Structure 1
């Protein structure tokens, strides 16, 4: 049997009325195909989200933040930190803590999406956790 491509626009209601005309076997086949299409789209969306999470996970703490924090921590330890520098150190510490929390949340989210434990994810991806120890 030959098929001819005809482009038409149907409302969802019109499409449903057309589907109502299918016999049971064709309806079952149609439903199976729609469910497969739905699952395919869900998988694609999940893979895209996982890729976003992996990209965020792989971003290190910016070097300028680390360097400034280490410099100010050294001055604090040497008791030569000014009050302005102390405020700057607190701000940098807060930034680092926020970045670390986002990092851990992304790891947890990715493990949850994959239905595995966090430790399993870390081992599977061979991730060196980037917890900044200069705090």
Structure 2
């Protein structure tokens, strides 16, 4: 195995120059080890980020909000919704839309981390069917 002499502080350019002097077989081994190192670093950070994003994406609308929305929309369909309840329904809809907006923002972030399109990510997660 060849050795490369490096000082305690070496620039990336100097390191690359030293790596250039490696025989092909050792260069391939070195590159493989560097790729493993990169993958390990990405896996550690992405796993934490992805896990948190997936938790946020899969978080349901709070049951109190969903229950109130269900009741108010049922009353609206039955034409028994009062003016005050209609105003409340609009507020509940706004809460749900805000919740959905945040979910989409988390999906976009996750798609960027995985370097895929939003459509592909949503398909992969089973959120939407595959487009025709």
Normalised TM-score (structure 1): 0.60
The whole-number CA distance in structure 1 between the counterparts of 2:84 and 2:9 is 74
Give the RMSD, CA atoms, in angstroms: 3.3
Equivalent in the alignment of 1:12: none
Q: 1:38 to 1:112 in 2, by over 3 A?
A: closer
Q: 1:125 to 1:76 in 2, by over 3 A?
A: closer
The whole-number CA distance in structure 2 between the counterparts of 1:39 and 1:122 is 24
The whole-number CA distance in structure 2 between the counterparts of 1:125 and 1:107 is 10
Q: CA deviation at 1:53?
A: 0.3
Q: Which structure is higher in RCO with an 8 Å CA cutoff and minimum separation 6?
A: 1
Equivalent runs, 1:106-117 vs 2, <5 Å: 106-117=106-117
The whole-number CA distance in structure 1 between the counterparts of 2:124 and 2:82 is 45
1:19 to 8, 31, 36: 8
Question: What residue ranges of structure 2 are gaps of 5+ in the alignment?
Answer: 1-6, 20-30
Deviating beyond 6 angstroms after TM superposition, the runs of 4 or more aligned structure 1 residues are: 36-39
1:95-114: CA deviation from partner (whole Å, max 9, x where unpaired):
10011111111112111111
Normalised TM-score (structure 2): 0.61
Question: What residue ranges of structure 1 are gaps of 5+ in the alignment?
Answer: 1-17, 130-135
**1:126 counterpart SS class:** coil
Equivalent runs, 1:48-63 vs 2, <5 Å: 48-63=48-63
Aligned residues: 106
Q: 1:111 to 1:38 in 2, by over 3 A?
A: closer
Equivalent in the alignment of 1:5: none
